[in-house]
Every structure is written in C-alpha cells, then in structure tokens.
Amino acid sequence: MTVQVAPQKVVSIEYTLSDGAGRVLDTSEGRQPLAYLHGAGNIVPGLENALSGQEVGNSIEVVVTPEEGYGVYDDRLKQNVAIRKLPERKAKVGMAFRLESKDGPRNFMVTSVKGDYAMLDGNHPLAGKTLHFKVKIVDVREPTAEEITHGHVHGPGGHAH
C-alpha cells in the first residue's frame, strides 16, 4: 500500500491557508479534501516540497515565502487601460479578463475604475504574500494513466471533466 508522498502519486490533503496575521484565506474545511498530482506543479512549489516524503495521517505546518508561493508582487503587471479597449468595453471592480502579456496569456483583474480608464492588475491575488499552511495528508494513491497524461487528478477533490 502506498502511504508516502512522492512524485506521480495522487495526494489528498485537508488544508487551511492563512496570512501572517492569522486571517484564513482558504480552507478545505466543510469540503472534500483537495486531491492533486504530486510533482506536477498543481500546487505552489513551497507546499509541494514540504509534502514530499510525508505519510498518510501526518499533519504539518508550512510557511511559504512569496517566491515559493504565488510569486513576488510585480508592479509592471499593473496597467491603466482605456475601458473601450477591453474585450467587453466595460469595467467593474472585480471583473477579470484573460489578456496577452509579454509572457503569454494572463488573467488581469480590475482593481479600480476612474472615468474612462480601468486599473488592471495581472498579479495573482496572493502574490507577495507569505503563506501559512496547516495541512493533513489524508490519502495517497497511484494515479490512473489518464491522470498522468493530463497532469492532474480526476474525480473527488480533483478535476470534473
């Protein structure tokens, strides 16, 4: 029986993610555990590294720096854009668009609107944040051939397609 977290295993975790002030940003509580394919970059590198070699039933606490998390905050990904140039020609705070950037397509979120212009931010909402994870490993199993091909997990806690 597989019990240890290693590359190309499907790992199910219960987790709570908090910021430095102890505010909960995300949690699996009240939902089914998150299932991911280990070593495939499905989760942030700092958490994936910390889980390597852990066993089912272990609980760990991990502090992940922005570099090992969702990236450092990049001011160059903020841009003021004329609303008439946006795909839907309208803008509201919280709207997101997929736009071309110099590193390929990227999600941009409207963070403010002033007159005919919208401020777009292409940073991940958690960019620049130190992440505090509490994680319990609840299951480790072998992936199916299809999961390996797709690079992610299917079924409960994974992709539904």
Name the site residues for Zn ion (rule: CB under 5 A): 150, 159
Q: How far is the CB of 36 from Zn ion (least distance, A)?
A: 12
Cβ closer to Zn ion: 2 or 42?
42
Cβ closer to Zn ion: 98 or 159?
159
Give the bridge partners for 35, in sequence order. 12
Q: For residues 17 and 29, is the Cβ–Cβ distance under 8 A?
A: no
Phi-psi region of 80 (alpha: psi -120 to 50; beta: other; left: phi over 0): beta
Number of residue whose CB is nearest Zn ion: 150
Q: How far is the CB of 31 from Zn ion (least distance, A)?
A: 20
Q: How far is the CB of 52 from Zn ion (least distance, A)?
A: 23
Cβ closer to Zn ion: 129 or 152?
152
Cβ closer to Zn ion: 92 or 149?
149
Q: How far apart are CA 137 and CA 153, in angstroms?
A: 16
Q: How far is the CB of 76 from Zn ion (least distance, A)?
A: 33
Residue environment code for 3-21, b if the CB has 16+ CB neighbours within 10 A, otherwise e: eebeeebbbbbbbbbbeee
CB-based burial of residue 40 (10 Å sphere; 0-12 exposed, 13-18 middle, 19+ buried)? middle
